[in-house]
A and B are shown apart, each in its own frame.
Chain A
Amino acid sequence: MINEFAIANASISSQNCIRKTRKGKIKITSKSTKEYVIKLTILILLVLTVCAFLSFDYKNIDLAKAISETWSNVKVLLGEPKLSYSTLPNVFKALWITFSLGILSTISGAVIGILGALLCAKNIANHIIANIIKSFVAFIRAFPTILWVLIFTVAAGLGSVAAVVGLTFHSAGYLIKAYAESMEEIDGGAIEALKSSGAGFWQIAFQAVLPSSISRMVAWTFLRFEINFINALAVGAAAGAGGIGYDLWMAGNFYFDLSELGFITYITVFSVIILEIVATQVKINVR
């Protein structure tokens, strides 16, 4: 009974009728390209995984010992958080610096993102310019953020400028794509009405496109802010801009102090969770 139901369900979803073999049996498996591609993708990924594990250079690591050591480290890290090298005000100051790096790069990224998205949203922009910008943005997004930051540390010197500009590059690329997609989702009627009454590009952009896509754009911006905060953690330390990532790195690689690392980890995790809750609330409320 159940099996029959599942079979019917499966075949309805694929072809809207029950397919039978020559003998009159109902075919259980469907052979659509979709399922074939899914199976092939999974198979290739599994083969690659096996290849990966066979090709890794493990350097004769003693796995059991490493795991038990890590486990005891985790117990210290999460069980006995304590500050010994830094003070609480300093940690919060560092947190604020990382937060600021996130704010600066998100705001700059959002401003560039709006301008870029207006130029490459399919429903209002020139198609040739849109394609050029879209491929350029895909190119920028392909660079890992850390590479942008390292490149800018040479050009602009160590400090917050390199961190912010490096982070901005990737977030602008991400936000241009996200904003353009939310602009493409809006109802075409408003644009058509404005076009027929002779409105220009900027009038269409500010009277029709931005007001109706702004809520989705706000949600995307908050999501990106959360990502930028996590990136700023790593990047701040690499670019010499300071922040909580630097404290983490010092506690872990310089003082070898697990308790301090644990304390800073707790603070980081709490702030990321708060940011995530805010981002989710914004996403729910603006819809």
Chain B
Amino acid sequence: MLVEKMNINNHLQKDNRSQKQISIFIKRKRIFLITFLIVIVLYAAASIATNYDAIKGLASIPKAIVWITKNLIPNEKSWERLPKILSKLIESSLLSVAVTVCAAACAFPFSLLGTRTVKVNLWIARIVRITAAFFRNVPSVVWAILLLFSFGQNILTGFLALFFTTFGMLTRAFIESIDEVSSNCVEALNAAGATSLQTVFHGIIPSSMPQLVSWILYMIELNIRDSTLIGLLTATGIGAMFDLYYKRMDYGSASLVVIFIVILVIGIELISNKIRKVIM
């Protein structure tokens, strides 16, 4: 009698377990279906709002490839423009390095005020985070348009426009990596009675430097790509060169600009990956 009951109980438990497992699969299927439907509805709504036609979009890709192979090939005339293109390319890459270094130099002390590890003041930390969020989220295009008013089509316009966004992004990245990496050694230094300056110079800087350098390298990559867009708006650097040739329909020279931008970006990515591999 007792054994029978236990058997039945066992069966019941097994049944329950298998039911539970099935319900997980059903649940997963349901979640998948609902997300799928939401994505399709969003896609349809967005297509209607922008008059986007997916078929036309797909059809444009082979068309674009054909057009690229026909037109975007450097010709003899464009090779004559090579020195000018290269000098603008160097200008743009130096600009993005300078922007990133200056922004990093400003963002590091600023981010120290916002970290949890240094604990300057809760309110100061909050203000730092909000300021960083503001600078990060105002698109660099807005800065460029605003600065064009008084700086005109000057290289400083591009510099400052990129500087503000880079500053915001680096501040956040620095805060996060300092919090992640340095908390142990800061705790140890605090326990030994170090002042906050000593903590910074003997604890935070040595332990978080690899992360910070890695972030700086990443921002340089990003800024080189962004400087093309800003260059279009502020008529400086490599972006303006591309715009000029493109609007003149001198596609040969425009393609040369594109090729060199791609080489530059890939080159910088390779170098920074090598550096990252050594320091991390």
Residues of A within 8 A of B (CB): 1-3, 5-6, 9-10, 13, 33-34, 37-38, 41-42, 45-46, 48-49, 51-53, 55-59, 61, 63, 65-67, 69-70, 73-74, 77, 96-97, 99-101, 103-104, 107-108, 138-139, 141-147, 150-152, 154-156, 159-165, 168, 211, 230, 233-234, 238, 241-242, 245, 248-249, 252-253, 256, 258, 261, 265, 268-269, 272-273, 276
- Which A-B residue pairs are the 10 nearest by beta carbons? A100-B46, A252-B145, A155-B64, A156-B60, A69-B150, A52-B94, A52-B98, A6-B202, A142-B265, A160-B50
CA distance A273 to B133 in the complex (A): 8
Q: Report whether B213 and A9 are in contact in the complex, using a CB–CB cutoff of 8 Å.
A: no
Determine if A276 and B137 form an interchain contact, defined as CB atoms under 8 angstroms apart: yes
**A160 engages B64 (CB within 8 Å):** no
Question: Which partner residue on chain B sits nearest A163 by CB separation?
Answer: B50
Specify which chain A residues have a CB less than 8 angstroms from the CB of B39 in the assembled complex: 107
Shortest Cβ gap from A181 to chain B (Å) = 13
Contact yes or no, A70 B151, CB < 8 A: yes
Q: How far is the CA of A164 from the CA of B210 in the complex (A)?
A: 37
A56 surroundings in chain B (CB, below 8 A): 91, 95, 155-156, 159
Q: Is A104 in contact with B192, judged by CB distance below 8 angstroms?
A: no
A residues near B146, Cβ cutoff 8 Å:
70, 73-74, 77, 252, 261
A94 to B185, CA, bound (A): 50
* B209, CB-defined interface residue at 8 Å: yes
Q: How large is the interface on B (under 10, 10 to 19, 20 to 34, 35 or more residues)?
A: 35 or more
CB within 8 Å for A48 and B269 given contacts A248-B142, A273-B133: no
Instruction: Decide if A49 touches B142 in the complex (CB within 8 Å).
Output: no
Bound-state CA distance A56–B151 (Å) is 15
* Additional 8 contacts, C-beta under 8 A, given A141-B265, A147-B228: A10-B206, A34-B279, A56-B156, A66-B150, A156-B57, A160-B51, A165-B60, A276-B137
Q: Which chain A residues border B202 with CB–CB below 8 Å?
A: 2-3, 6, 9-10
Q: Are B101 and A142 in contact (CB under 8 A)?
A: no
CA distance A97 to B48 in the complex (A): 10
